[in-house]
């Protein structure tokens, strides 16, 4: 598995050769710990399984009937069926989760597009053609991310109420854009910084226009980074509860909001809850595994590669 880049450039020992920025990978010299590997492997696998048990249990239970889901000791080998999923999609209650899922998709996709539209030019002005004091600007972006949402949510709520934007999915789109913008600027900057200076200079000497440079020089290098940034922004928007809970209601409620009101407390519902959790987590699981390589870089705001 070579999913993690050996972060050569940041090791305290300077890379032996290559002052050219083109190839920054150092040789993959790894310690060769032949000892204890079997033991470490077994321990790692046991712990990995232990951590995965709640997820696996959630998936298994979602295919059980409600009666099999509520037994003590658990019925691991019970018959599998799709009843819980049918229930989640409103087979008997008639309440469909689709509006909330569509709201979540709208909020996540449109806010991600907006974030990219704002963050890519900003990152360009912070890396490829940096403004003066660009580090200060970069850290200003980061500092806004450190302010808890809860400290700004009341004014936003009051504003939405006055402006008639309560329970409006497009207001939530704007909120999610601001929530993800600092992360996206940081990530994108670190991806754009990977574009070799020589290539930019060569393009300039050849008289390439800005558009051509963007398309032929910058885009090929930055594309995987842009994709990963988009996926991570999508995940954060999809997961968000507090803002959605305060700013939306019946019409614009997102999937997490739907999920919090889903448990009625009457009768058996464990299988149904598991099915709901599976359905709502699927987009995040897909996006997360697709962005696996760049996940660390995104979550650490570009500080760790």
Partner 1 sequence: MTTATARVSRHGSSTAKPSKNTRARERAVSWARRAPLLPALIFLIVVTQLPFVVTLIISFMNWNSLSPDTTGFAGFENYIQVVTDPYMLQAILTTIVETVSVVLVSLVLGLGLALLLDKKFIGRGLARTLLIAPFLIVPVAAALIWKHAILNPVYGLINGSLTWIWSLFGSDNPPQPDLLSSAPLMAIIVSLVWQWTPFMMLILLAGLQSRPMDTVEAAQMDGATPWAIFRHLTLPHLRQYLELGGLLGAIYIVQNFDATFVITSGGLGTANLPYAIYETFYYANEYGLASAAGVVVVIGTIIVATFALRTVFSLFKKEAAR
Map the footprint of partner 1 across residues 257-296, applying CB under 8 A: 259-260, 263, 269-270, 273-274, 276-277, 280-281, 284-285, 288-289, 292, 295-296
Stretch that binds partner 1, among 77-85, 87-95, 138-146, 218-226 (CB under 8 A): 138-146
Asked if residue 228 lies in contact with residue 294, where contact means CB atoms within 8 angstroms, the answer is yes
In the shown chain, the binding pattern of residues 92 to 121 toward partner 1, with x for contact by CB under 8 A and - for none, equals --------------------------xx-x
Q: What is the CB neighbour count within 10 angstroms for residue 132?
A: 6
CB of 53 or CB of 163, closer to partner 1: 53
Whole-number minimum distance, CB 251 to partner 1, in Å? 18
Q: Among 132, 136, 164, 267, which residue interacts with partner 1 (rule: CB under 8 A)?
A: 132
Q: Among 142, 165, 221, 227, which residue interacts with partner 1 (rule: CB under 8 A)?
A: 142
159 vs 152, 163, 257, CA distance in Å? 11, 6, 21
Q: Between residue 221 and residue 250, which ones bind partner 1 under the rule CB under 8 A?
A: 235, 238-239, 241-242, 245-246
In the shown chain, the binding pattern of residues 177 to 206 toward partner 1, with x for contact by CB under 8 A and - for none, equals xx--xx--x----x-------------x--
**SS3 state of residue 64:** coil
The C-alpha R_g of the chain, in whole angstroms, comes to: 24
Q: Please give the Cα distance from 73 to 53 (Å, whole number).
A: 16
Q: Among 93, 144, 202, 216, which residue interacts with partner 1 (rule: CB under 8 A)?
A: 144
Whole-number minimum distance, CB 212 to partner 1, in Å? 9
Q: Please give the Cα distance from 81 to 264 (Å, whole number).
A: 22
Asked if residue 283 lies in contact with residue 100, where contact means CB atoms within 8 angstroms, the answer is no
DSSP letters along 127-156, please? Answer: HTSPPTTHHHHHHHHHHHHTS-GGGTHHHH
Q: Please give the Cα distance from 244 to 29 (Å, whole number).
A: 48
Tell whether residue 253 is a contact of partner 1 (CB under 8 A): no
CB of 45 or CB of 96, closer to partner 1: 45
Q: Please give the Cα distance from 125 to 131 (Å, whole number).
A: 6
Q: Please give the Cα distance from 46 to 39 (Å, whole number).
A: 11
Q: Between residue 34 and residue 73, which ones bind partner 1 under the rule CB under 8 A?
A: 36-38, 40-41, 43-45, 47-49, 51-55, 57-58, 61, 69-73
Residues near partner 1 (CB under 8 A), total: 122
HEC letters along 152-218? CHHHHHHHHHHHCCCCCHHHHHHHHHHHHHHHHHHHHHHHHCCCCHHHHHHHHHCCCCHHHHHHHHH
Tell whether residue 304 is a contact of partner 1 (CB under 8 A): yes
Q: Among 105, 113, 137, 227, which residue interacts with partner 1 (rule: CB under 8 A)?
A: 137
**SS3 state of residue 206:** coil
Measured between its terminal Cα atoms, the distance across the chain in Å is 16
> Token pair for residue 82?
């799709």
CB of 99 or CB of 145, closer to partner 1: 145
CB of 156 or CB of 169, closer to partner 1: 156
Whole-number minimum distance, CB 94 to partner 1, in Å? 22
Tell whether residue 133 is a contact of partner 1 (CB under 8 A): no
């Amino acid at each position: 598995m070579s999913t993690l880049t050996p972060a050569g450039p940041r090791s305290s020992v300077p890379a032996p050769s290559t002052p050219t920025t083109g190839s920054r990978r150092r040789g993959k010299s790894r310690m060769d710990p032949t000892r204890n590997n079997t033991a470490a492997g077994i321990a790692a696998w046991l712990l990995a399984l232990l951590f995965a048990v709640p997820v696996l249990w959630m998936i298994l239970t979602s295919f059980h009937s409600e009666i099999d889901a509520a037994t003590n000791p658990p019925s691991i080998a019970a018959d599998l069926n799709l009843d819980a999923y049918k229930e989640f999609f409103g087979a008997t209650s008639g309440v469909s989760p689709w509006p909330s899922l569509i709201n979540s998709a709208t909020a996540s996709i449109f806010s991600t597009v907006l974030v990219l539209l704002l963050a890519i030019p900003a990152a360009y002005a912070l890396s490829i053609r940096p403004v003066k004091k660009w580090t200060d600007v970069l850290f200003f972006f980061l500092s806004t991310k450190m302010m808890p949402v809860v400290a700004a949510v009341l004014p936003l709520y009051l504003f939405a109420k006055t402006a008639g934007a309560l329970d409006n999915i497009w207001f939530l789109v704007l909120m999610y854009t601001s929530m993800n913008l600092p992360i996206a600027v940081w990530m994108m900057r670190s991806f754009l910084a990977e574009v070799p200076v020589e290539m930019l200079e060569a393009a300039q000497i050849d008289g390439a226009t800005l558009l051509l440079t963007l398309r032929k020089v910058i885009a090929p290098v930055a594309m995987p980074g842009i994709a990963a940034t988009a996926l991570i922004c999508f995940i954060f928007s999809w997961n968000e509860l507090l803002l959605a809970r305060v700013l939306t209601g019946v019409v614009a409620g997102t999937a997490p909001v739907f999920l919090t009101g889903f448990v009625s407390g009457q009768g058996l519902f464990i299988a149904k809850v598991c099915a709901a959790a599976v359905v709502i987590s699927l987009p995040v699981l897909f996006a997360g595994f697709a962005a696996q390589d760049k996940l660390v870089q995104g979550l650490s705001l570009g500080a760790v590669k």
